Amino acid sequence: MKRHGILNGPLSGHLARLGHTHTVVIADAGLPIPEGVPCVDLAVIPGLPAMLPVLDALLAELCIEATTLAEELPVKSPSFHDAIIERLDTLDRLSLTPIVRNQLSHEAFKAALPQASVIVRTGECTPYANVILHCGVPF
């Protein structure tokens, strides 16, 4: 048994196959999952698991060079947006290069989903609580 990190076997396998420029989407419970894109569905009931702990676990495992959020998030769910930004600010302080932060309309965000390497569905029910993590390299 693993001692640390992601314990979910399917999720751990998807993460191990990621390379530079691949994307991981952490999705709320309502984001439509396109056909053909692998999905690790962690959702159990509304709110479980919440998205932020899943984001924390993935940020601890992955090298991220950019993120993409829906431009509606800071308007519709400002405290949730602030919680994500706080995490990215912490990563920026620990890294040599700051994480690029992108925003798209929610419709454009959904249009980008077919290019994702994997989508991780959570039980999050906060409006627009989705993030695309763009993988970087640690060198």
Which residues are annotated as catalytic?
20
* Contact call for residues 56 and 88 (beta carbons, < 8 A): no
Beta strands (DSSP E) in 42-109 are 64-70, 100-104
DSSP code of residue 131: E
Using CA atoms, how far apart are residues 112 and 131, in angstroms rounded to an integer? 11
